[in-house]
Amino acid sequence: MQKSAVLLVVCCLGGALTFSGCHRAKDQAAKSKSEGAAPPVAEQVEPAPTPVPVNRNAQVVILGYHRVVDNVRHPDTEISKVDFEKQMQEIKDEGLTVIPMRDFLAWKRGEKDIPAKSVIITMDDGWKSQYEAAWPILKKFDYPFTLFVYTDYIKGGPKSGGESITWEQIAEMRDAGVDIEGHTVSHKDLRGAKRGSQAPDYDAWLWKELADSKQMLEQRLGVKVEALALPYGFYNAHVQEMARKAGYEAIFTVYGQKIGHGSNNEALGRYMIEANKPKVFASAVRFGGGGAMDTEPVAEFTGGSLSTEPADGAKITDPRPVIKANLGSLGAVDPTTLAMRVSSLGAVNAKYDAATKTYSYQPATKLKDNRYSVIVTGKAGGKKVEARWGFTVDTKGAQEEEKK
């Protein structure tokens, strides 16, 4: 049954700032207890920061692609050349600026300004179609972009195949200004789900995945690798800590979100663009209407109530709950402005039912036992509203979870 829950409407000083907090909180419980096996870290040689006035209200959207192909056969990881080019055009038509990763990182450090609505284009794994198909299109638009490659997959590596990019191709792209960043050695779940994070050699293995891949790219290509794309977006606090020790300045997940200046560098969400999810691109490049998001009026709710499921604070045993809110009390909701975010999932594809005024989403896969926060944003009566609530999934239904 639905239960009334207190919802907050907070002053939203840049949506991404608000969202980042919920990502930061995720996976706290999953921190591995094993510590200390990490070899010493090579000190990064950072240039002395040069503070400049930067636009802290700028927003950044990070797009992630895999293969760009003539005919899509695997819509979960491919996009057609035609659609890819259309998207690149749309970025231009929307008046968005594509910036390189290094500008983004400099902006986060407070050293360089970026346009108010910026986009970063990234491509994962090291597919040769990124060289053969995507690059020519990106050149046409003069867009900078980033490759996240895992070293085992590069031609000649133990996991490479007919679709692998070569070191020569990567070097040619590097020479043209393409940014090369890390995606581990073997592309395994870094939380050690398969091998077991309790295994005695887990930390040594994790360190290799993070540090050896970085070192290999840096040594073979003469680049500085500062960013890490997490395989499958999986991480926990221990993975973040080890990545930081290995020298990564920014860590990217696959939970699409608008990035603000205050967003957590250790869980930066990317919108993964796939042929079978055109809406992801549409929502990614929608920066919230005309003006800057920050200047939109926020509804003056000091408190209110929405009926939600699960209820605020509820502990549930169903790992695939229907997550919904009745928005009837918000007044005239503009359904096209609605967005739902769930911690650890990011923006989800929730549906609005005008008849019942409910906005709902059911996770496609089981949620892990954890605490979840839900944030619904949108416009009602011409004002920006934001509602949030939380619940806990505890499939064992008993004691507080304390799993590793």
The residue ranges that bind Zn ion (CB under 5 A) are 124-125
In terms of C-beta distances under 8 Å and separation of at least 24 residues, what long-range contacts does 80-85 make, across chains too?
80/275, 81/133, 81/137, 83/275, 83/278, 84/133, 84/134, 84/137, 85/137, 85/140
Closer residue to Zn ion in complex, CB, 125/386: 125
| CB 46, CB 272: distance < 8 Å | no
Q: Which is nearer to Zn ion, 164 or 370 (CB)?
A: 164
Query: What is the spatial distance between Cα 146 and Cα 124, in angstroms, rounded to a whole number?
Result: 9
CB closer to Zn ion out of 103 and 124:
124
**Count of Cβ atoms closer than 10 Å to residue 82 Cβ:** 12
Q: How far is the CB of 24 from Zn ion (least distance, A)?
A: 23
CA-closest candidate to residue 184, choices 266, 106, 239, 103: 239
C-alpha distances (whole Å) from 174 to each of 131, 177, 180, 221, 343 are 11, 5, 7, 8, 35
Closest approach, Cβ 400 to Zn ion, in A, equals: 34
Q: Shortest distance, CB of residue 66 to Zn ion, whole angstroms?
A: 7
- Residue closer to Zn ion by CB (options 346, 378) is 346
Q: Are 65 and 52 in contact (CB under 8 A)?
A: no
Identify the DSSP state of 164.
B
Give whichever of 124 and 266 is closer to Zn ion, judged by the CB atom.
Answer: 124
Is 288 in contact with 92 (CB distance < 8 Å)? Answer: no
Strand order in the sheet with 3-7: 3-7, 304-309, 323-326, 358-361, 351-353
Residue among 175, 164, 176 nearest 222 (CA):
175
CB of 133 to Zn ion, least distance (A): 17
**Least Cβ distance, residue 130 to Zn ion (angstroms):** 12
| Closest CB to Zn ion among residues 78, 124 | 124
Shortest CB 149 distance to Zn ion, Å:
9
CA 314/CA 264 separation, integer angstroms:
27
C-beta separation of 35 from 203 below 8 A: yes
**Least distance to Zn ion, CB of residue 350, Å:** 26
Beta strand extents in 196-255 (DSSP E only): 227-229, 250-252
In terms of Cα–Cα distance, which of 152, 170, 169 is closest to 161?
Answer: 152
Would you say 144 or 182 has its CB closer to Zn ion? 182
Residues 87 and 281: beta-carbon distance below 8 Å: yes
Nearer to Zn ion, 125 or 312 (CB): 125
- Sign of the torsion angle spanned by Cα atoms 47, 53, 57, 62: negative
Q: Which one-letter amino acid corresponds to residue 228? A: L
Q: How far is the CB of 314 from Zn ion (least distance, A)?
A: 35
- Whose tokens are 């900078």? That residue is 144
- Residue 152 CB, shortest distance to Zn ion, in Å, is 11
Min dist CB 151 to Zn ion, Å, is 12
- Please say which residue, 125 or 266, places its beta carbon nearer to Zn ion: 125
The residue among 187 and 261 lying less far from Zn ion, judged by its C-beta, is: 187
